[in-house]
Structure formats: C-alpha cells, structure tokens
Chain A
Amino acid sequence: MSPRPVKMRRIGKPPVISGMKPYGFADNRTSSGKVFLNLEEYESLRLCDFYMLHQCQAAEMMGVSRPTLTRIYSSARMKIAEAIVEGKQIVIEGGKIYFDSSWYFCNDCGCFFNNPGNKGNPEKCPLCGSTMIVNYDLLPEMIYKDPASPDNFCYYHGWGRKRVGKRRRDFRT
C-alpha cells in the first residue's frame, strides 16, 4: 500500500534569502557540503522561533496537525545544528508547500479579503468601503484566537496560561 500523500503546507511569507554560507573554516577548507532546508522547515522556524508562537498555533497557521508541525520543526533544528556544527552551507529550497497572500478583516461588515497583485496595504474594505480593516495572518477559516485570553484554551498545551520570560513578536505586521 502506498503511504498517505503529504498535505500541502501553507507558507505565509517566502524567505528573503535562498541560503546561507559559512565562513572562516579552522582548517582552511573552502566548502564542506550543503544542508537542504525545506521551505516548510523554514516556515516552522519562522513561526516557532522568530515569532515565538506555540507549536499548536504555528501548526494551525501552516494547515497541519500539531504533531506534524513538531516533526517538521525538529527536523529543521537538526538540519540547522548540522550546518553549524559541521560548517555546512544552508540551502532553503523544496518542500510540499503553497504560498498564501496576506489576508485582512473588515470590522464593519465582518468580511475577510486578500490583496493580490497590489503592493502595499489596502486602505478600504472592498465590500463596504469602511476603513476599519485589520491585518490577518491566518486564513479566514481559522478564526484568530487571542493567546492571552483564558477563554481560548488550547487542547494541546493551554494557550490560556501565562507564559513567563518570553515575549512574542507581533506576527500580524
């Protein structure tokens, strides 16, 4: 039996670089191989380590289950550790992914909309023309839950709990 096909993973923003190169080898080598980091692994690092989201939130944003996200994430960390320890080049490419343009929400009429092709942020709701719009990094079918509110309890790790010593960057910019 063939295995179940891999689900497409959603990527919010493509990486700004296509890779990284090491420099200053101790034994005068010029190169020592490459590590191929998938785009989904890059995205898991972006969400979990840069924006410091919970893994269940990151999983929801990438459209995969929490255990799958953990698997992607641990593989990303192993690859990056390998690159640093063995002085390998990191190449970001491949992966079963799709890009999604950013979404906005109108507070007046309650609609979600995206802004394809146009650079910059939209100023008006395309439906009612209201200016009460906010940026959304989630798909419309995933309603954003405020992690600080105790009402939004996460099934896996409990987002409602207060976290000490860690501050999240605002990922909705």
Chain B
Amino acid sequence: MIKITNMKIAITSTGDSLESKLDQRFGRCACFVIYDTSTGNIEFVLNPNKDATEGAGPASVQLVASRNVEKIISGEFGFKVKSLLDNLKIQMVVLKDPEKSIRDIINMLKH
C-alpha cells in the first residue's frame, strides 16, 4: 500500500479502555479512540456531546476532524454526519457488531 504512514483512525467506543465495546452510535458515543497506524499510539478522547439533545453529530465531526482523522469506524452515521464527512473526505466504516471490543478492531486494522 502507498501512503499508509501517519494515518489516524477514529473508533467509537462505549468506554475508555481497550476492552470496551464498539459504540453503535457516532454522535453520542461515550468515547473516541484515536489510533495511529504509523506509531501504534492509542488515545482516548471522551465525547463531550454524549448527552447533547441536538447537533451531537456535527459537533463530534468537528472534534474528530480537528485531530486529522482519515477513517472513522462506528455502527451508524446520521445523514447530516454523512454529508459532512463526505465533504471532509473522511472515510466511514460501518460495522454492525456491538460485541466487538476496541482491542479486536485494532487487531483487525493491523492486518
């Protein structure tokens, strides 16, 4: 693969540990896991929009985009979020498996 260096991937998580499960919502997930494929660095970012009544999706997009993420793994994306991410050229990966833990997903990404 070309240009795999310095790629950051965001994963929505239900908690701030590697054993937490993949959160099926994007905007209101508990925590974002920012995984850097080049350094293997894993960072947990708590989502301030967790209990927002409105506009959680766009606010989360802003949070994630500010960290120069190129790919987001979540269970579902709302349509506001979809059009925003399309414009930002961030790839969306939808994985409908609430039983997958963050550790599993990071292992999959290491393929």
Measured between beta carbons, the chain B residues less than 8 angstroms from A128 are 108, 111
Inter-chain contact count A-B, CB under 8 Å? 58
Nearest B residue to A115 by beta-carbon distance? B91
- The answer to whether residues A110 and B108 also contact, given A126-B71, A126-B91 and a CB cut-off of 8 A, is no
Name the 10 nearest CB pairs between A and B, nearest first: A117-B89, A129-B111, A112-B94, A111-B95, A140-B94, A113-B93, A116-B89, A128-B108, A116-B86, A114-B92
Measured between beta carbons, the chain A residues less than 8 angstroms from B1 are 124
Within B71-111, the residues touching A (CB, 8 Å) are 71, 73, 76, 79, 82-83, 85-86, 89-97, 105, 108-109, 111
Contact B83 A109, beta carbon cutoff 8 Å: no
Binding site for A on B (CB under 8 A): 1, 71, 73, 76, 79, 82-83, 85-86, 89-97, 105, 108-109, 111
Interface contacts beyond A98-B79, A127-B105, A130-B111: sample of 4 additional A-B pairs, CB < 8 Å, sorted by A: A98-B82, A109-B108, A110-B96, A127-B95
